[in-house]
Amino acid sequence: MRYIEAIKTFTLILLIGLSIVLTLLIWNSSPYETVVKRATVDISIAEEPEKKDVSSIIKPYQIVFNFEEGLKGTIDSEEIDHIVNTFKKWRISNPLLEDKNFEEEKLSDFMRGKNRFTLYFPDDVPLPVYDSLLNVENPNVPEIGFDLIVVEWDSTNTTIDMNFISRKNKLRYKSTAKVFELQVFQREVLNFGRSFDEYADVNPEGKKFIAVPAKPVQLLENTYFQNEKDEISPTRFRSALFSDPNAVRRKEVSAHREDFQDNHALMSVDTEKKQLQYVHPVVESRQLAIPSELLEDTIDFINEHGGWTDDYRFSSMNFRTRYVKFKLYVRGLPVLGGNTLTEIEQVWGDETIYQYKRPYYTLGETLPSEMETVTLPSGIDIAEQLRSAEDINFNMIDEIVPAYYMHQDVDLDIFVLTPSWYYLRNGKWIRFSSERPGGEKIGLE
């Protein structure tokens, strides 16, 4: 009996020891499993994502100089950047409201004045955001927006006027800028501007100032391969958009559609056209946003997950609906139409993203055999055809610009970029067609 009791005691001690060992193993294994799970979630964004600053996202798409001898202008990104970079060398006073009822006719007369140049932006840009490219003396830059900057100069004076104009709000703010060296301004701005292409006012008697290239425009027609190597995986967006990526359920809906979903949000992915759409209904907000904060938050959000897959630039914003859009640019020109998505759209909810719609393809190498120079008619010719078209009221046209139309061939995995003329009417860019002057409504805003 003594031996039996001893065996029982030894067995009990052994079981207690095993229990302690197993408990220690469980304690030590739980954190390890957590680390593995987190690593699995974060691996798609482990590399430092590419970030872009304001100077590469918010850009004018055109500059027009009005010299005594006539108009000169450019749509070339490098030439535009050269002019914009000179602003940093100026000392600019705080903008003050000059005209709160700057109607269309006033604006046209103002832009037709001599010794001034105009920078065109696609929509109102909040000055506090764009201030990083300027040298405004006031540290508290006012919350104003502009889609035109008109600079007036006097060849004998180092003080010039800068006008920040919002066409849709009919407001004109005015600053004075101190140019430290008049010779530098003459060389880097005025003489440089005189080297631009000849432009013409195609609506001299009308209420709208429309400046276009006076001669035929030569642009490259390109075919790009789809760059699958540098393409962003949808799982990166899953990690960026969902609060708990581990709780996201993945479902193949069809041959070319996948859904990522948790209990609150849904991300649908078109794997053929390389597009996605995300919605998080419970965070919808109707509170008005502060324009500068809205735009900064949107840029920061895309920077955080490396979402600048190509050259996307600020296109439009509505602080009332909390909406921001960026448009694809190729070789410095906007892609204003096509058979595929070429825009990044966001709607902000309550401190987070409410809706997100975008492509995730990346343009790869060009196909040299398919690259050719295309000569478009002059802007004057296009304006005359539009003016003579029976189904178009030329007085309703705001702008006429060259841009790209993009065709995606999902079977060949290529993108074909075709230079085209577009005109802006009622807030919509319409592709000009020589066969039918009224054009084809595509790429609507």
* Three-class HEC string of the chain: CHHHHHHHHHHHHHHHHHHHHHHHHHHHHHHHHHHHHHHHHHHHHCCCCCCCCHHHHCCCCEEEEEECCEEEEECCHHHHHHHHHHHHHCEECCCEEEECCCCHHHHHHHHCCCCEEEEEEEEEEEHHHHHHHCCECCCCCCCCEEEEEEEECCCCCCEEEEEEEECCCCEEEEEEEECCCHHHHHHHHHHHHHCCEEEEECCCCCCCCCEEECCCEEEEEEEEEECCCCCCCHHHHHHHHCCCHHHCEEEEEECCEEEEECCCCEEEEECCCCEEEEECHHHCCCCCCCHHHHHHHHHHHHHHCCCCCCCEEEEEEECCCCEEEEEEEECCEEEEEECCCCEEEEEECCCCEEEEEEECCCEEEECHHHCEEEEECCHHHHHHHHHHCCCCCHHHEEEEEEEEEEEEECCCCEEEEEEEEEEEECCEEEECCCCCCCCECCCCC
- Taken in order 386, 392, 398, 402, the sign of the CA dihedral is negative
One domain for residues 161 and 73: yes
One domain for residues 206 and 256: no
- Whole-number Å distance between alpha carbons of 226 and 271: 13
In a domain, 423, yes or no: no
pLDDT of residue 405: 97
Q: Which of 162, 179, 214 is the last residue of a domain?
A: 214
In a domain, 406, yes or no: no
In a domain, 114, yes or no: yes
pLDDT of residue 47: 56
In a domain, 19, yes or no: no
One domain for residues 84 and 204: yes
One domain for residues 244 and 109: no
Q: Is 297 in contact with 285 (CB distance < 8 Å)?
A: no
In a domain, 418, yes or no: no
Q: Is 395 in contact with 370 (CB distance < 8 Å)?
A: no
One domain for residues 87 and 144: yes
Reference 56, options 112, 114, 132, 126; nearest CA is: 132
One domain for residues 208 and 247: no
Q: What tokens appear for 286 in the block?
A: 């109707």
Q: What tokens appear for 445 in the block?
A: 């805003």
Question: Please, what is the Cα angle at 186 between 185 and 189, to 5 degrees?
Answer: 65
Number of C-beta neighbours around residue 213 at 10 A: 24
- Cβ within 8 Å of residue 320, ≥6 positions away: 288, 289
Range of the domain at 144: 59-214
- Whole-number Å distance between alpha carbons of 138 and 425: 37
One domain for residues 205 and 117: yes
Question: Please, what is the Cα angle at 183 between 180 and 184, to 5 degrees?
Answer: 65
Q: CATH number of the domain that 245 lies in?
A: 3.30.310.160
One domain for residues 173 and 299: no
Q: Which of 152, 179, 214 is the last residue of a domain?
A: 214
One domain for residues 246 and 200: no
Tens-binned pLDDT, residue by residue, of the chain (445 aa): 444 454 445 444 554 555 544 444 433 433 323 222 222 233 334 356 689 999 999 999 999 999 999 999 999 999 999 999 999 999 999 999 999 999 999 999 999 999 999 999 999 999 999 999 998 988 889 999 999 999 999 988 889 999 999 999 999 999 999 998 889 999 999 999 999 999 999 999 889 999 999 999 999 999 999 888 778 888 889 999 998 999 999 999 999 999 999 999 999 999 999 999 999 999 999 999 999 999 999 999 999 999 999 999 999 999 999 999 999 999 999 999 999 999 999 999 998 999 999 999 999 999 888 889 999 999 999 999 999 998 899 999 999 999 999 999 999 999 999 999 999 999 999 999 877 545 554 333 3
Q: Which residue has the tokens 């039996």?
A: 4
In a domain, 317, yes or no: yes
Q: What is the pTM of this model?
A: 0.86
Indicate the number of domains in the chain.
2
pLDDT of residue 130: 96
One domain for residues 180 and 104: yes
In a domain, 11, yes or no: no
- Whole-number Å distance between alpha carbons of 415 and 318: 30
- Whole-number Å distance between alpha carbons of 333 and 74: 11
In a domain, 158, yes or no: yes
One domain for residues 189 and 77: yes
Q: Which of 180, 214, 248 is the last residue of a domain?
A: 214
pLDDT of residue 33: 30
One domain for residues 187 and 279: no
- Taken in order 14, 20, 26, 31, the sign of the CA dihedral is negative
